[in-house]
Amino acid sequence: MKVELVILVVNAFSTWFMTGLIWFVQIVHYPLFDGIGAENFQPYANRHRHLTSLVVAGPMLTEISSSVLLVAFWSRAYTWLLWINLALVIAIWISTALCSIPCHEKLCAGGFIPATHQWLVLSNWSRTCLWTVRSLILAFVICKLLTEAN
């Protein structure tokens, strides 16, 4: 198997993993923050941040690095889609750095703050949508390659 196809598969799996995870976080996990209680929230938030980092660090690093490698090594059709995909993963990282991480830091430092929680849930929709679009693009490229191979 050519290296570019291996990179594509690695990129797709890391993206699909993150897409499933972000939908769970958006629909179930973040909305439940307001039910933890003020007295337990700060320790919960700190433990949450640590454990979540353990789960997402590897797939996110795999996703962005394989996105860069994909545009660098790709020699087939749909190159423009892979450039869009790279731009989307960069947008996810920017949103994470500018919105999600600061919200989590405020919640860890100050306990449950309703406005911060509301902004975390609202701003996370951008990451949810971006990962969903990435997943669809990668599924499209893989389906096209499989169709053309027959």
Instruction: Show the low-confidence residues of the chain (pLDDT under 70).
Output: 1
Three-state SS letters, the chain: CCHHHHHHHHHHHHHHHHHHHHHHHHHHHHHHHHHCCHHHHHHHHHHHHHHHHHHHHHHHHHHHHHHHHHHHHCCCCCHHHHHHHHHHHHHHHHHHHHHHHHHHHHHHHHCCCHHHHHHHHHHHHHHHHHHHHHHHHHHHHHHHHHHHHC
Task: Round the average pLDDT of the chain to a whole number and report it.
Answer: 95
pLDDT in tens, 46-76: 999 999 999 999 999 999 999 999 999 998 8
Q: What pTM value is reported for the model?
A: 0.94
Please report, for the chain, the start and end positions of each structural domain, with discontinuous segments joined by +.
3-25+58-149
